Amino acid sequence: MRDADPRRRVPRTDVLLADPGLAAAADRLGRDRVKAAVVAAQARARAGEITPDRVRDAALAALPAAGPAAVLNATGVVLHTNLGRAPLSAAAVAAVAAAAGHTDVELDLTTGRRARRGRDALAALAAAVPDAGGVHVVNNGAAALVLAATALAAGREIVVSRGELVEIGDGFRLPDLLASTGARLREVGTTNRTTLADYADAVGPDTGFVLKVHPSNFVVTGFTSAVGVDRLATLGVPVVADIGSGLLAPDPLLPDEPDAAGTLRAGAHLVTASGDKLLGGPQAGLLLGDAGLVDRLRRHPLARALRVDKLTLAALAATLHDPDTPTRAALHADPAALRRRTELLGDRLTADGCKAEVVPTAAVVGGGGAPGVELDSWALALPERYARPLRLGHPPVLGRVARGRLLLDLRCVPAAADAALRAAVLAVPAED
């Protein structure tokens, strides 16, 4: 008679390790780690915690994921901070893959001698903003400002408007960031009004620089006044402008968003910005401005700690060489074309038995850029209950819940992913 003890039906270790899913995990994580997960899952089955047929799945579930999950961004937020802000272009992805091995990041192949690190990315950045006498790249926007404050104002004063002492996200506040460099903040004006005389009264022999910060994640309206870079440049001290969003040249779609070229022409000595926002590239901090000033920052000891890796340099260079990025495409998507695409997907879902309403909506820039700007868009409206299973699906789909409905805005979803989005929606179980 066959033994009824279910423990005898626990799959053998060698059989489990030959399973394609577990074999692939072993290639990624190492055989010893996967074997330990298999043994632990077998022990659970023998203890009666799981059935023998669940051992494989339990072992896989105990292993770490391959990495961040690729998500379909149907929120209508172009630069979604929680989703990594700007998605890289195909050219940037290819450049990262090429740079993953040995690369000439600091080598001149012609001479065989050491060369300036990231010279291709730096040359592309300089070409994109000819008004900059010098350029440098660090690992994010906050790092760019920290390097400037440390090199130019440690032990000295930074003059800044009270209305521009922003919080940049996750509890990080500009005053704390700058104070950590050893600089002293000299706050001028009020929350809503600052004049040129306020700055002039504060500038003195101990001034390292005047800081102009673009409040890129909020808007102050009403009884307000602020001082532009052109007027700050008359004060006789360096002016550092943090434009934030990484717009290198004017964009008619975003008339109130400062750009690096225009800010330098207005008289800024140094501009700092992010690479993974409106530029549409990798996370990076961009420094552009007076050649001598930039060189001083580049040679500061802190610059070594803040330097970017070869993958970032490769992605940044590719982005600058081919600026038609997914971010730009999403920002400038034609609302009429979006509507046709959304209606087509809605019709297909309805034919599949899933009623999806097509509704007008408003997308936003996000990522601390162009606050208050809304982009006309269109979305599929589904019952709110779809939100969680879509987030947990394969691929995960993130929409926006509003007024009891889940809105799926296709502005940031590549057209090639429409079939995957449709399959994800249809995979959600019907209500009982």
Domain boundaries, the chain: 6-62, 72-82+329-427, 90-322
- Which range among 77-91, 165-179, 276-290 shows the weakest confidence by mean pLDDT? 165-179
Confidence class of residue 3 from pLDDT cuts 50, 70 and 90? low
Across residues 99-114, what is the average pLDDT?
94
Size (the chain), residues: 432
Mean pLDDT of the chain: 93
* The two structure tokens encoding residue 46: 């023998």
What pairing do the DSSP bridges indicate for beta strands 107-108 and 184-188? Answer: unpaired
Cα separation, 129 vs 422, in Å, equals: 42
Name the CATH architecture for the domain at 72-82+329-427. Answer: Alpha-Beta Complex (3.90)
CA–chain centroid gap for 199, Å, is 34
Helix (H) or strand (E) holding 242: strand 239-244
- pLDDT for residue 131: 96
pLDDT at residue 210 greater than cutoff 50:
yes
Helix (H, G, I), strand (E, B) or coil at 366: strand
Which residues neighbour 184 within 8 Å (Cβ) at sequence distance 6 or greater? 155, 156, 157, 158
**pLDDT surpasses 50 at 27:** yes
Which three-class secondary structure state does DSSP give residue 262? helix
Q: Please, which pLDDT band fits residue 1 given cuts at 50, 70 and 90?
A: very low
Q: What is the mean pLDDT of residues 218-238?
A: 91
pLDDT over 90 at 65, yes or no: no
Asked whether residue 432 carries a pLDDT value surpassing 70, the answer given is no
Pairing of strands 369-383, 405-409: antiparallel
Provide DSSP, 79-134. Answer: E-GGGTSSPPPHHHHHHHHHHTSS--TTEETTTTEE--TTHHHHHHHHHH-TT-SE
Measured distance CA(350)–CA(426) in Å, rounded? 10
Q: Is there a common fold for 72-82+329-427 and 90-322?
A: no
Q: Rounded to an integer, what distance in angstroms lies between the CA atom of residue 123 and that of residue 379?
A: 41
Q: How many of the other CB atoms lie within 10 Å of CB of 359?
A: 16
Inter-residue long-range contacts of 63-71, CB under 8 Å, 24+ positions, other chains counted: 63/25, 63/29, 63/33, 63/34, 63/37, 64/29, 66/28, 69/395, 69/396, 70/395, 70/396, 71/395, 71/396, 71/397, 71/398
Mean pLDDT is highest, among 21-30, 219-228, 399-408, for: 399-408
Task: Give 364's strand partners.
Answer: 77, 374
Q: For the structural domain made of 90-322, what CATH number should be given?
A: 3.40.640.10
pTM for the full predicted model: 0.87
The DSSP output letter for 223 is: S
* pLDDT at 9 (0 to 100): 87
The rounded distance, in Å, linking the Cα atoms of 165 and 161 is: 7
Tell me the CA distances in angstroms from 232 to 33, 81, 201, 235, one per residue in order: 60, 32, 12, 6
Residue 337 dihedral angles phi and psi, to the nearest 5°: -70, -35
Tell me the pLDDT tens digit for each residue of 171-197.
778 899 999 999 999 999 998 999 999
Task: Return the pLDDT at 69.
Answer: 83
Number of C-beta neighbours around residue 105 at 10 A:
18
Q: Taking residues 310-335, what's their average pLDDT?
A: 96
Average pLDDT over residues 57-68: 85
Radius of gyration, CA atoms only, the chain: 27
Using the predicted structure, report yes or no on whether residue 429 has a pLDDT greater than 90.
Answer: no
pLDDT of residue 217: 67
At 257 the three-state DSSP class reads coil
**CB within 8 Å of 354: residues ≥ 6 apart:** 382, 425, 426
Task: For residues 412 and 391, give the distance between their C-alpha atoms in angstroms, rounded to a whole number.
Answer: 16
Q: Which two tokens stand for residue 366?
A: 């996000």
User: Does the structure show a pLDDT above 70 at 44?
Assistant: yes
Residues paired with residue 412 on neighbouring β-strands, in sequence order: none
> Mutual orientation of helices 90-99 and 310-321 as an angle, nearest 10°?
150
Six token digits for residue 325: 């990025």
The percent of residues in the chain predicted with pLDDT above 90, rounded, is: 83
Specify the range with the lowest mean pLDDT, choosing from 167-176, 333-342, 372-381: 167-176
CB burial of 328-353 (b: ≥16 within 10 Å; e: otherwise) equals bbbbebeeeebbebbeebbebbeeee
Closest CA to 129 of 240, 270, 230: 270
Distance CA 114, CA 137 (A): 19
pLDDT at 2 over 70: no
Say what percent of the chain tops pLDDT 70: 97
Question: For the residues 238-262, what does the mean pLDDT come to?
Answer: 93
